[in-house]
Amino acid sequence: MKIFKKIVINFVFYASPLVLICYLFLGLVETRITTSFSSLEFWACLPILIWTPVTFFLTISMFFSRKLRNTVLARLSGMKERDEREVQIAGNALKSTYLTTVTLLLFLLFVSLFYIHIGKKPISGIEPDEPPIEIGLKLQFHLIDANTVITQKQGFDKYFEMNDLPISSSTLILILLLWQIFSYRHVSRRSFKLSETDIDC
Amino acid sequence: MVNIGSQFKIKNNINALRTQKKMTQQALADAVSVTRATINAMEKGAYNPSLELAFRLARFFEVDIQSIFFVEDSDEDI
């Protein structure tokens, strides 16, 4: 079982660049289901067909096995805890990552909660004592994404408008994941760098 | 006597003791069950070890903890 898990982890890690290339290739050509073994699309699809269920299996297994979770995520984030100093560095890096992630989440929450609009009114529609620029601010919170449509006022020149996050949920998840990994790696690498230089044996 | 109101830095003699024993950083690291980088960080004063590691080092060098680690007072106020 131990060897099997090792093979699965190595396969997921080392095959991922190939899978990415295959995805890019399939994105460039017209994708269609084919039974022809000689076609290039079939051979480009093959790594994806194997990699995707294996990765899914690994992800599900990580929920149940703490050891597997630690192994995979430590490898992904470059986490080393071989002695007390490395444990301390890992703790500091995790603290830094946690705080920057909370900051990022707060920013994203702010962007998704508020609707801000700055627009210039048409000259014909301005009353004598009325300012020509209108600033709109609205708080919006939806428990379920209901594709809310904010009706735009007619005749306004839009200077600035911010309404919900302009990115998809998968992009948001990817950003948060990459942020966590790179933030941790950056902080821990900076701490490790201090002692890795000036080697005296 | 340590003045708590002043900034102080913990220094150590690990490098001197290790050189006396003609050991490499890796050999010392293996002897006290840490990584070579940790020994290097301690020698450079970039890392202060835990009490447990301090005792392990003292036991290994067969000296008191105070012979390895000492406080260097500074006149600068915090």
The alpha carbon of residue A201 is apart from the nearest alpha carbon of chain B, in Å, by 5
Partner B contacted by A149 (CB < 8 A):
no
| Chain A residues close to B40, C-beta within 8 Å | 195-196, 198-200
The answer on pLDDT for A184 being more than 60 is yes
The alpha carbon of residue A85 is apart from the nearest alpha carbon of chain B, in Å, by 6
Beta bridge partners of B12: B69
| Helical spans, DSSP H, in B10-68 | 14-20, 25-31, 36-43, 51-61, 65-68
Distances B20 to A71, A88, B13, B29 between C-alpha atoms, Å: 40, 29, 11, 16
**Residues in contact with A161: Cβ distance below 8 Å, sequence separation at least 6, in sequence order:** A116, A117, A118, A119
Token pair for A154 = 């007619």
User: Which sign does the torsion angle of CA B1, B3, B6, B9 carry?
Assistant: positive
**Predicted pLDDT of residue A2:** 80
**Predicted pLDDT of residue A166:** 73
User: Which sign does the torsion angle of CA A13, A14, A20, A26 carry?
Assistant: negative
Q: Specify the range with the lowest mean pLDDT, choosing from A98-107, B1-10, B42-51.
A: B1-10
Distances A169 to A56, A126, A165, A175, A193 between C-alpha atoms, Å: 19, 40, 9, 10, 36
Whole-angstrom distance, CA of residue B53 vs CA of residue B28: 12
Q: Do A199 and B40 touch (CB under 8 A)?
A: yes
Partner B contacted by A195 (CB < 8 A):
yes
Of A6, A199, A187, A200, the closest CA to residue A89 belongs to: A187
| A162, A119 Cβ separation under 8 angstroms | no
Cβ-based burial of B66 (10 A; exposed 0-12, middle 13-18, buried ≥19): exposed
**pTM exceeds 0.95 for this model:** no
Q: How many CA atoms lie within 13 A of A102 on its CB side?
A: 5
Please state the rounded mean pLDDT for residues A141-169: 65
**Predicted pLDDT of residue B30:** 95
| Helical spans, DSSP H, in A65-138 | 66-77, 84-113
What was the ipTM of the complex prediction?
Answer: 0.78
| A174, A120 Cβ separation under 8 angstroms | no
**Higher pLDDT, residue A168 or A40:** A168
For B:51-70, CB contacts with A below 8 A are: 52-53
Of B39, B76, B73, B45, the closest CA to residue B57 belongs to: B39
Q: Do A84 and B38 touch (CB under 8 A)?
A: yes
Amino acid, single-letter form, for residue A19: V
Q: Do A195 and B41 touch (CB under 8 A)?
A: yes
Partner B contacted by A196 (CB < 8 A):
yes
Give the residue on B whose Cα is nearest the Cα of A80: B35
For B:9-48, CB contacts with A below 8 A are: 15, 24-26, 33-38, 40-41, 43-44, 46-47
Q: Do B40 and A84 touch (CB under 8 A)?
A: no
pLDDT digits (tens, 9 = 90+) for B8-42: 788 999 999 999 999 999 999 999 999 999 999 99
Length of chain B: 78
| Chain A residues close to B26, C-beta within 8 Å | 201
Give the residue on A whose Cα is nearest the Cα of B35: A83
**Predicted pLDDT of residue A124:** 72
| B60, B13 Cβ separation under 8 angstroms | no
Q: Do B41 and A85 touch (CB under 8 A)?
A: yes
Whole-angstrom distance, CA of residue A56 vs CA of residue A70: 17
Determine how many CB atoms are found less than 10 A away from the CB of residue A184: 23
Whole-angstrom distance, CA of residue B36 vs CA of residue B38: 5
Angle among Cα A79, A80, A82 to the nearest 5 degrees reads: 160
